């Protein structure tokens, strides 16, 4: 009989509730004496996935490139900043693929670079299987941010099976191929770690409060107590167990209001191979770990939050990172006093996989989109540290066969001794009785060891038959009745739960005692939430009093007839898709109705939609799509937080503005939380909510006492008072490059914060920035005034035609904030104030205007003088292409005014802010001596030209005065003909010079962008250097020729002008 065995811990028999005879220490695994531990580094693979719909709609660009096993990632904000990493395996699954008739994703061309699921399995899965068959423990860790493709690589979708199902298929295939030489047993376990609690996903009973306990024994190490392990004899049975575990995971996520992307899932296979002829038993643990989304371990970016989520939710990944860092330091010879395995449940269970007795692989998945740069770079750094870890794997031999052999030998000796006593005829009744008891006990032990596997397998087969009967019943019901199926944020958990609606009336809600009720659990679900009525093949849904029901994005209050593929949301966020009678279904594909579709529909009902552009139209502004998707992502979380606030009687209202605005209904105090901070707080609210229910359930209910009503310092709904960013306006600086004054009346609207990387505005018309509701905060009057070093405004004669005339000269200007009008912030509550914040060029810290209070139309009259002592090209480019962002900050009672930090800022004794003291060389020019020399020569020539230009201006002024003084017609005619002639010649020369300099600048840009190919060998690099030198010479010659031509033209003009001006002398 062919047998197999998969488990989560080494002591699989512990959780199968076997007889005590199998628990002695002799049954634990130990290394063969002949196998000395060898050092094996953790092997790391990296896989790059295709763009998802959100990234495509947002116009993302690929910032990741791959050459063999090296990966290079480019900073989207700085094209010259690149990081290269090398790994054991690198898989390009981003592009160059097609879908065949069977639904498999394959390379577009045979031998193409696209890495499909088979390619990944051949490298990683076959290696794990080979190690397990040799008797080694093997571990595969999947790491990456949420949505980066971890689940696709581990489990797969549809016909594109992932590593786990392929590994199971190959495992049982190998067992069948070797059944003549060995007997194999396979046990399967599946668990989830969420909030530092272990959940058995195969448990047939109710969930243990607080989760299963993780214990430690000297010989077994860490293991999960009472974890269910199921014997398996085929891949089909393993697949069914995985479906059962996924169903349990889905139900738990709904009931606990938990997010699956924040949990770790472990699948454990225990393979036991019995070689009868050699009397050897090899036992291997295969751990397949799908880790939580890696972006969750970051602490809200740069956001400092008083309450840290890491107390429980975030602990496992943080500790895993600490363990990997410590082991990486050990590998390079650093002295590490302590490796924190015991700091979290996850690292306890993975101790053997990290630095212990296991051969370990890690697959790190990442997105190549520019909007995921920070997460992708963090993943690559994490994986780079992991590949330095060294394990000490050994072949594991179980003493079970030795025990049987020793028991048989002892029985033979006992029988021989009994026979000898009988032949001698001695009276040894007492001794004979004792020997027979020992013989009987040993025979029972042998029989128990040999029959245990068959018994366990028969029990598992009975369970499997019951599950198969349930599946058959479910499929039969699907062909007879309408039903609703769950839609989850994790695509792996969608479509798992089906609730059938038979004929008659069915109450849906928390109630589970009524014979005609459908029991569901979730946030905001009432005891009796709604009624389904199935009558004459028509299904209607009727909300009950106090319940929240949404159909196709719209809240309903009256009976509503459901149509096939209608979208239902019950309570805060329990999402279901209605499937009608079989006659209505046809060939519809319901997979497009994913979680994002539900939330986009809700946003559209609230007036937040992109029209046709939401489908990915080419006319859609990518920044609008980015804001829209972030808004959609926050919507369900805000709804859940509001529901928890209501049930905990907190009296807070959280509104969706992409930054979450929290208002205390009693004191009217306001907090503005970023997306990262709100996500952090939302999970702390969940903890308070769950603790509240624990304290007020059953006999434990204590009147007036609740952890949720604890001290304010630990209240996730409260924060100390801080200034609130009300909105922004942009004041463009281009006029300063021409020394033209600018006076603007700016409309300040709500700011829309997208994520940790950027700030995006909805541009509707000039200066107008709209938030989610387009509410206007204020009108701000501001001016930009070019001035002299003493602060006097400049006149029309100081206006420049060419901004380059500012190069190397001093530039002074003033920013004047005159008045704010119609402040909605103060109109709502009079005891509030405002300040204006801004920063310019290389000012590291913002500057603030004085605070004004209690006035809806305050007069600011705040003037700031800035000066550049030596204007550079960098500052000139900044003025011509950038704007100063004016931030409107709201003040409220209890918070302090914002103050300008002058650290690192240079000021004159007159209070003038110095924004530039010396001309800055372009960093790209510093890398090339020839370019740097040419740039300095050009700078000197420009200074000479500016000096010549100044003398020409004086000379022109002198000529103008002489022309005005001349009264004779001949002189007048001569003067009028001379001036246009000289000015026209000079204009033509400048035009030719600017045209040639445009060509030179284009060549300089091409030189700066040129980079050698990542695939270039030594010969290719030499050719690149030679070509680069040739281009540098051409650039230098063209630059010198342009400047020389201009010098000659200007000199000729000046000479002719002086010759002709002699007639007036």
Residue 83 pairs with which residues in a beta bridge? 73
Residues 888-932: tens digit of each pLDDT: 999 998 888 999 888 778 888 888 999 887 544 444 333 445 455
Calpha distance 459→739 (Å, rounded) = 88
**Is pLDDT at 1064 greater than 80 in this prediction?**
no
HEC string of 914-941? EEECCCCCCHHHHCCHHHHHHHHHHHHH
548-606 residue pLDDT tens: 999 998 999 999 999 999 999 998 888 999 999 988 887 777 778 888 888 888 888 87
Give residues with Cβ within 8 angstroms of 379, minimum separation 6.
143, 144, 145, 148, 294, 364, 365, 366
pLDDT at 172: 92
Max mean pLDDT range (145-159, 394-408, 1010-1024): 145-159
- Beta pairing class for 913-916 and 906-907: antiparallel
Contact 731/782 with Cβ under 8 angstroms? Answer: yes
Q: 845: which DSSP letter? A: S
201-241 per-position pLDDT tens digit = 888 777 777 788 998 887 778 888 888 888 888 888 888 88
Nearest-angstrom CA–CA distance, 258 and 489: 11
- Taking the alpha carbons at both ends of the chain, their separation in whole angstroms is 122
Structure tokens at 458: 């028969």
Provide Rg for the chain, Cα atoms: 38
The two three-digit tokens of residue 719, written as one number: 């924060």
Q: Which distant-in-sequence residues (6+ apart) come within 8 Å of 758 by Cβ? A: none
**Hey, what are 911's tokens?**
């209070």
Closest by CA to 167, choosing from 115, 201, 132, 202, is: 132
Q: Distance (Å, rounded) from C-alpha 392 to C-alpha 405? A: 30
990 contacts 1042 by C-beta, under 8 angstroms: no
Tell me whether strands 43-48 and 89-92 are parallel, antiparallel or unpaired: parallel
Contacts for 573 with CB less than 8 Å, ≥ 6 apart: 522, 523, 524, 636, 639, 640
Q: Is 908 helix (H, G, I), strand (E, B) or coil?
A: coil
pLDDT digits (tens, 9 = 90+) for 702-722: 444 444 445 677 788 888 888
Question: Which residue, among 163, 222, 232, has the nearest Cα to 193 in the 3D structure?
Answer: 222
Question: Mean per-residue pLDDT for 413-419?
Answer: 71
The residues that bridge with 749 in the sheet, in sequence order, are 728, 776
Q: CA 143, CA 376: separation in Å to the nearest integer?
A: 11
Give the C-alpha separation, 957 to 429, whole Å: 141
Q: Is the dihedral of CA 233, 235, 236, 241 positive or negative?
A: positive
What does residue 356 show for φ and ψ, rounded to 5 degrees? -120, -145
Please give the sequence-ordered ranges of beta strands (E in DSSP) within 60-120, or none if there are none.
Answer: 64-67, 70-74, 82-86, 89-92, 97-99, 105-107
731/728 Cα distance (integer angstroms)? 10
Mean pLDDT of 443-458: 62
**Mean pLDDT, residues 612-617 taken together:** 41
pLDDT interval class at 882 (50, 70, 90): confident
3-state DSSP assignment of residue 325: helix
The three-class DSSP label of residue 726 is strand
% of the chain exceeding 70 in pLDDT: 70
The number of CA neighbours under 13 Å toward the Cβ of 280 is 13
Query: Does the global pTM surpass 0.85?
Result: no
Strand, helix or coil for residue 509: strand
């Amino acid at each position: 009989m062919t047998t197999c065995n998969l488990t989560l811990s080494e002591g699989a028999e512990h959780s199968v509730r076997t007889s005590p005879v199998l628990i002695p220490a002799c049954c634990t695994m130990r290394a063969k004496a002949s196998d000395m531990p060898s050092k094996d580094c953790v092997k790391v693979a990296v896989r790059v996935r295709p763009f998802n719909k959100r990234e495509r709609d947002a116009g993302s660009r690929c910032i990741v490139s791959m050459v063999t096993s090296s990966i290079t990632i480019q900073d989207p904000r700085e094209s010259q900043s690149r990081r290269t990493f090398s790994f054991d395996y690198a898989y390009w699954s981003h592009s160059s693929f097609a879908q065949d008739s069977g639904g498999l994703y394959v390379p577009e061309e045979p031998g193409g670079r696209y890495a499909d699921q088979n390619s990944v399995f051949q490298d990683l899965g076959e290696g794990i299987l080979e190690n397990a068959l040799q008797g080694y423990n093997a571990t595969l860790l999947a790491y990456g941010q949420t949505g980066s493709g971890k689940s696709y690589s581990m489990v797969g979708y549809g016909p594109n099976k992932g590593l786990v199902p392929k590994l199971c298929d190959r495992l049982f295939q190998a067992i069948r191929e070797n059944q003549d030489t060995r007997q194999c047993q396979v046990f399967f376990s599946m668990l989830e770690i969420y909030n530092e609690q272990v959940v058995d996903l195969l448990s047939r009973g109710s969930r243990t409060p607080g989760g299963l306990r993780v214990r430690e024994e000297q010989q077994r190490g860490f293991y999960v107590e009472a974890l269910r392990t199921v014997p398996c004899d085929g891949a089909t049975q393993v697949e069914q167990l995985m479906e059962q575990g996924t169903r349990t995971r889905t139900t738990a996520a709904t009931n606990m209001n938990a997010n699956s992307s924040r949990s770790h899932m472990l699948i454990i296979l225990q393979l036991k191979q019995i070689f009868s002829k050699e009397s050897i038993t090899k036992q291997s643990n295969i751990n397949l770990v799908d880790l939580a989304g890696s972006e969750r371990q970051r602490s809200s970016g740069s956001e400092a939050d008083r309450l840290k989520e890491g107390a429980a939710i975030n602990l496992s990944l943080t500790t895993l990172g600490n363990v990997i860092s410590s082991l990486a330091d050990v590998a390079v010879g650093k002295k590490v006093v302590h490796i924190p395995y015991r700091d979290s449940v996850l690292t306890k269970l993975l101790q053997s996989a990290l630095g212990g007795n296991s051969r370990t692989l890690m697959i790190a998945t990442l997105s190549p989109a520019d909007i995921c740069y920070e997460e992708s770079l963090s993943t690559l750094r994490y994986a780079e540290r992991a590949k330095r870890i060294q394990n000490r794997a050994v072949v594991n031999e179980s003493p079970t066969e030795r025990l049987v052999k020793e028991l048989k030998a002892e029985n033979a000796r006992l029988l021989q001794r009994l026979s000898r006593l009988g032949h001698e005829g001695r009276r040894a009744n007492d001794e004979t009785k004792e020997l027979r008891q020992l013989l009987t006990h040993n025979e029972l032990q042998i029989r128990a060891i040999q029959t245990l596997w068959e018994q366990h397998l028969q029990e598992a087969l009975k369970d499997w038959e019951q599950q198969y009967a349930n599946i058959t019943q479910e499929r039969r019901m699907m062909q007879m009745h309408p039903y609703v199926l769950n839609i989850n944020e994790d695509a792996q958990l969608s479509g798992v739960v089906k609730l059938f609606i038979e004929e008659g009336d069915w109450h849906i809600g928390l109630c589970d005692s009524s014979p005609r009720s459908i029991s569901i659990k979730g946030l905001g679900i009432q005891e009796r939430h709604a009624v389904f009525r199935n009558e004459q093949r028509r299904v209607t849904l009727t909300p009950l009093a106090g319940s929240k029901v949404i159909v196709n994005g719209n809240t309903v209050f009256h009976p509503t007839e459901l149509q096939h593929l209608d979208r239902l949301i019950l309570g805060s966020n329990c999402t279901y898709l209605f499937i009608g009678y079989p006659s209505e279904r046809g060939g519809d594909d319901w997979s497009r109705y994913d979680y994002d579709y539900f939330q986009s529909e809700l946003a559209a009902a609230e007036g937040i939609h992109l029209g046709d552009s939401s489908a990915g139209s080419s006319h859609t502004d990518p920044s609008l799509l980015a804001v829209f998707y972030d808004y959609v992502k926050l919507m369900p979380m805000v709804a859940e937080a509001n529901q928890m606030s209501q049930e905990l009687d907190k009296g807070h209202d959280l509104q969706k503005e992409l930054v979450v605005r929290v208002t205390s209904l009693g004191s009217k105090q306001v907090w503005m939380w970023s997306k990262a901070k709100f996500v952090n707080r939302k999970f702390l609210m969940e903890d308070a909510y769950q603790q509240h229910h624990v304290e007020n359930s059953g006999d434990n209910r204590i009147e007036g006492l609740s952890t949720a009503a604890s001290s304010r310092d630990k209240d996730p709904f409260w924060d100390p008072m801080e200034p609130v960013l009300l909105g922004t306006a942009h004041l463009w600086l281009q006029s300063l490059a021409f020394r033209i004054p600018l006076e603007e009346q700016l409309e300040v609207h709500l700011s829309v914060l997208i994520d940790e990387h950027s700030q995006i505005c909805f541009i509707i018309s000039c200066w107008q920035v709209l938030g989610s509701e387009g509410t206007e905060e204020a009108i701000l009057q501001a001016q930009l005034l070019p001035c002299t070093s003493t602060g006097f405004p400049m006149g029309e004669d100081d206006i420049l035609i060419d901004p380059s005339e500012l190069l190397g000269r001093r530039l002074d200007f003033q920013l004047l904030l005159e008045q704010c009008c119609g402040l909605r912030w103060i109109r709502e509550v009079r005891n509030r104030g405002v300040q204006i914040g801004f920063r310019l060029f290389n000012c590291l810290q913002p500057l603030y205007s004085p605070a004004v209070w209690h006035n809806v139309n305050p007069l600011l009259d705040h003037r700031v003088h800035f000066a550049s002592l030596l204007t550079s090209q960098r500052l000139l480019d900044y003025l011509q292409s950038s704007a100063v962002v004016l931030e409107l900050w709201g003040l409220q009672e209890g918070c302090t005014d914002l103050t300008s930090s002058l650290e690192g800022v240079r000021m004159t004794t007159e209070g003038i802010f110095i924004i530039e003291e010396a001309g800055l060389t372009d960093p790209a020019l510093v890398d090339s001596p020839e370019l740097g020399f040419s740039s300095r020569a050009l700078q000197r020539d420009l200074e000479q030209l500016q000096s010549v230009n100044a003398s020409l201006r004086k000379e022109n002024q002198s000529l103008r005065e002489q022309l005005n003084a001349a009264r004779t017609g001949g002189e007048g005619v001569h003067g009028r003909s001379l001036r246009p002639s000289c000015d026209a010649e000079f204009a033509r020369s400048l035009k030719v010079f600017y045209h040639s300099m445009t060509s030179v600048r284009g060549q300089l840009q091409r030189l700066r962008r040129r980079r050698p190919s990542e695939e270039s060998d030594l010969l290719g690099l030499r050719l690149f250097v030679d070509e680069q030198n040739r281009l540098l010479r051409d650039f230098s010659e063209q630059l010198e020729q342009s400047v020389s031509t201009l010098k000659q033209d200007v000199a000729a003009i000046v000479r002719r002008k002086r010759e002709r001006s002699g007639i007036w002398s």
